[in-house]
Homo-oligomer: A and B are copies of this chain.
Amino acid sequence: MAENLKADQKTQLALDLGHAMHELRMLIRHFIQTKIKEHNIDITFEMLEVMSVLWKRDGRNQQEIADLTLRDKSSMTYLIDNLVKRKLVKRVEDEKDRRNKLIFLTEDGNRVKEQLYPWVTEEYIKATATLRLEDLQSSVNVLKEMIDNLKKVEV
């Protein structure tokens, strides 16, 4: 009985956690979208997530970017198409493995980093201003443990 009660409490907490996670993500998305709109920049939050991965290192293939941004590879085809149209990235066929299309930033793509990147982190800085590093770290650990638990079970 005591065990069941505890399990219920944990489930409820996990549901709360899920809701809070989603809310947090939507808040940040909304903030970034507003910033982008205010400055009349022709890019979406989703494209920005792809750009963020490339700013760290470009020349990745589409599947790799899809994995990093937690998207289906077919969404990635579409998103990269849109970024190519806006001349922010270019596709280059991999000579060593012709299945791969490597994605590189253009000059424009590098340039917008200076403008957009600060906004991406600004919100996170605000969000964590009142928090202690250790508490943040342990929250990350908790979420990662939950992810591990789910992945283990699925095998």
Contact = CB atoms under 8 A, between A and B. Distances in A.
Interface of A: 6-7, 9-11, 13-28, 31, 70, 121, 123-131, 133, 135-140, 142-147, 149-151, 153-154
A13 B138 CA distance: 10
B138 A135 contact: yes
A17 B146 CA distance: 12
Provide the main secondary structure of the chain A interface.
helix
A139 B131 contact: no
A125 to B, nearest CB: 6
Contacts of A149: 126-130
Contacts of A121: 11, 15
Contacts of A26: 70
Nearest to A127: B146
A139 B10 CA distance: 12
A11 to B, nearest CB: 5
Nearest to A123: B150
B143 A131 contact: no
A21 B26 CA distance: 12
